[in-house]
Amino acid sequence: MILEGIIIKGVGGLYKVAATGNIYDCKARGKFRKLHIIPMVGDRVRIRVLDDGTGIIDEIMPRRNALTRPPVANVDQMIAVIAVAQPEPNLLQLDKLILAAEKQQLDIVICINKIDLDDGMVQCKAISKAYEMAGYNVVYTSVAEPLCGIEDVKRFLRGRITVIAGQSGVGKSSIINAICGQNRMAVGEISAKAGLGKHTTRHVELLAVDGGMIADTPGFSAFELRLTKYEVAAFYREFSLYAAECYFSDCLHLKEPNCAVRQAVEQGLIDRGRYERYVYIQDELEQEKGFVRW
């Protein structure tokens, strides 16, 4: 029997494939190893079901995209999680994460978590304003009782494969537990010494929820993204409203004269913090010879 399905988990050369309402334990055909193709979570596949109920992955359908960190294929969107405290928000890392998602043409939602730690919501509102000005959807969440914002997150999940990503300790696994209504993922503690979360996720697994699928991802202890300086400029979507008015058609919005983007920053139309981090990333790109590192 031949079935079409999707790989929802892969550990040590063994894969779980969801197909026709069932989960099949599968191995991949040897031809993939010879072709240097490694099946990925999110791959849409054809499997041959054996008499014992296990399966063989015979074919991997063409991938729409393939992330390497985390290793997931055919992703539709990224929910980038940042905590308002514990650990302190690192907006430079968030901007780099957004660049990675923009390069893969993913839809992006910014999730500001642990809002219960922000008296008066002052910091939450400042972060939200910066990214809403840039054209991103922003949601607020808290997994402390009572839960807050989880239903808002769920509305973005339906019919999509979603990666939930962010630095360790921001509460990705806790958000997934709240969405799933059960303790599906281990929840890490915060290291008081560094203010960072202990990595609790050891593998990528797709979880079915609300008509979609979500993936938790290992903490980003290392991150590397190859970009050109012009890609970085293009991926700052708030620049697009003004870049056409720049004097130079290839303006990078750094020190060029008559730059409409820099004028927009001065006028408060583009968030100054976002722009300053853009300049920092461009400088890093120059020093690292085309790489953005985390």
Annotated binding site for GTP: 113-116, 166-174
Contacts of 11-16 with C-beta under 8 Å, sequence gap 24+, read: 11/203, 15/39, 15/57
Give the C-alpha separation, 109 to 77, whole Å.
Answer: 8
- Cα torsion at 286, 287, 292, 294 (round to 10°)? -150
Q: Residue ranges for the binding site?
A: 113-116, 166-174, 246, 251, 253, 259
Cα(first)–Cα(last) distance of the chain, in Å? 46
Largest Cα–Cα distance in the chain?
71
Phi/psi of residue 25, each to 5°? Answer: -80, 125
Give the C-alpha separation, 112 to 92, whole Å.
Answer: 15
The residues facing 140 across adjacent strands are: 112
Q: Are 164 and 143 in contact (CB under 8 A)?
A: no
DSSP annotation string for 236-279: -GGGHHHHTTSSSTT--SSS-TT-HHHHHHHTTSS-HHHHHHHH
Place of tokens 């790109």: 285
Q: Residue ranges for the binding site for Zn(2+)?
A: 246, 251, 253, 259
Helix (H) or strand (E) holding 154: helix 150-154
